[in-house]
Amino acid sequence: MSAGLPFFRYHPDPLASGSIRESAEKCACCHRGTGYIYTATFYTAQETDGRFCPWCIADGSAAARFEGEFTDPYGLEDVGEATVHEVTRRTPGFIAWQDPHWLVHCRDAAAFLGEVGHTELAAHPEALEGLRLDLRMSGWHDEARLDSFLTYLGEAATALLFRCTVCGTHLAYVDAS
Ligand SMILES: [Zn+2]
Ligand SMILES: [Zn+2]
């Protein structure tokens, strides 16, 4: 947990995930230098580079002022509108090869932990098993190939790791270039 930063229920350590970095840069919304700057995605039709301070993300002012979203609401159909707003407008997003989206568990948005390879994923067997099931469902029938793909996660492809905010189960999806 990063001391001094606002708390993001759905992205508890944005410094560890790299979405927020220590920087002297001034926030594109409040124009203050807070010591931290946001570096990941922001979708808006307006002109801004989306380099916001964590406080303008947390209180929703950056999303409101630039009428934008940090994350696409894709995948969040089963959670309430308040949660969708919190994830898309008041939570730092993250950078991925494919369009980033949020995972859902126990009918709540999960907390994004970061991009991981096989070693980190193996520390959460339930996430690894879930990923294996998803890949089988999407057409990976060759177990040996699937095993080798999972073993080399972290190289050509990575996994995006989440933790359920309700039951604590870890879950992940694969991101590839
Ligand atoms: Zn700001
Ligand atoms: Zn759960």
70 vs 1, more confident: 70
Ligand closest in space to the Cα of 126:
2
For tokens 């990976």, what's the residue? 140
In whole numbers, what is the pLDDT of the chain averaged over residues? 93
Angle between helices 143-151 and 125-137 (to 10 degrees): 130
Report residues near ion ligand 2: CB below 5 Å: 105-106, 164, 166-167, 169
* φ, ψ at 40 (rounded to 5°): -100, -160
Is residue 107 within 8 A of residue 11, CB to CB? The reply is no
Q: How many angstroms is it from 88 CA to the middle of ligand 2?
A: 20
**Host H or E run for residue 172:** strand 170-176
Provide the pLDDT for residue 68: 97
Q: What percent of the chain is predicted at pLDDT more than 70?
A: 98
CA distance 53 to 39: 10
Kindly list the domain boundaries of the chain, sorted by start residue.
11-97, 103-177
Q: How far is the CA of 83 from the centre of ligand 1 (A)?
A: 22
Neighbours of 46 (CB within 10 A): 10
Q: Is 122 helix (H, G, I), strand (E, B) or coil?
A: helix
pLDDT tier, 157 (very low <50, low <70, confident <90, very high otherwise) = confident
Contacts of 35 (CB under 8 A, 6+ apart): 22, 23, 24
Q: 8-55 pLDDT, tens per residue? A: 999 999 999 999 999 999 999 999 999 999 999 999 999 998 999 999
Please enumerate in sequence order all residues whose Cβ is within 8 A of that of 167, keeping only pairs 6 or more positions apart, or say none: 105, 106
CA of 139 to the centre of ligand 2 (A): 25
Nearest ligand for residue 162 CA: 2
**pLDDT, tens digit, for every residue of 94-130?**
998 887 889 999 999 999 999 999 999 999 999 999 9
Q: How far is the CA of 108 from the centre of ligand 1 (A)?
A: 28
User: Does the pLDDT value for residue 177 go beyond 80?
Assistant: no
Ligand 1 mean position to 63 CA, how many Å? Answer: 11
pLDDT exceeds cutoff 60 at 79:
yes
Weakest-pLDDT range from 5-19, 134-148, 158-172:
134-148
In three-state secondary structure terms, 37 is strand
Instruction: Give the Å distance between the CA of 168 and the centre of ligand 2.
Output: 6
pLDDT (0 to 100) of residue 2: 47
Q: Is a pLDDT exceeding 80 seen at residue 3? A: no
- Ligand nearest 163 Cα, by number? 2
Question: Can you tell me the distance from the alpha carbon of 82 to that of 2, in angstroms, rounded to the nearest whole number?
Answer: 25
